[in-house]
Amino acid sequence: CVQQKGLGIMDAEALKYYMRLMYTCEKGKSGDNWNQSEGIRLCEADILALDRTFRNEVEENFQKARKIRIDQKILRWDKMHAVHIGGMSAIKLSYLRQLGTNAPVEFVQYQIGDDDRMHYLSFSYRECERDRWLPDWVKIQGTFKLVKRND
């Protein structure tokens, strides 16, 4: 997880802004995910089912948070869809969320299948700081590449 410079030392300037970049990878079995040489093997109905599943997971997590008095809600949900990022096939998930009365936060995630692995590249930032962070996000997307493994 990468956050803005100075946040870890509680730098007052860094605390004025919010951005989070995360990369995670889940390993499964061969054939669990699409292979980049073949592209996404999901039809529109499959993607819509995934969209419903992810939205339900997010809403359930927000409901659990409300039980401990953390008021978080979805303000906008963008339908998942297939995209290309850095020449790779991916599924894009994005939504706008809000915690209490704080500024709304944009969340974007690319799910990039690679046979036995699913790579998740996620980026979130305050909607009002879009102009500050979007140029960095565009650069990051252009540099993200999967490297052939020998395992």
pLDDT tens sequence across 21-32: 899 999 999 988
CA–CA dist 14, 46 (Å, integer)? 41
Question: Per-residue confidence at 144, pLDDT binned at 50, 70, 90?
Answer: confident
Cα–Cα distances in angstroms (integers) from residue 28 to residues 33, 111, 117, in the given order:
9, 14, 6
CA–CA dist 129, 106 (Å, integer)? 10
Helix (H) or strand (E) holding 52: helix 44-67
pLDDT tens sequence across 72-85: 999 999 999 999 88
Partner residues linked to 92 by β-bridges: 81, 110
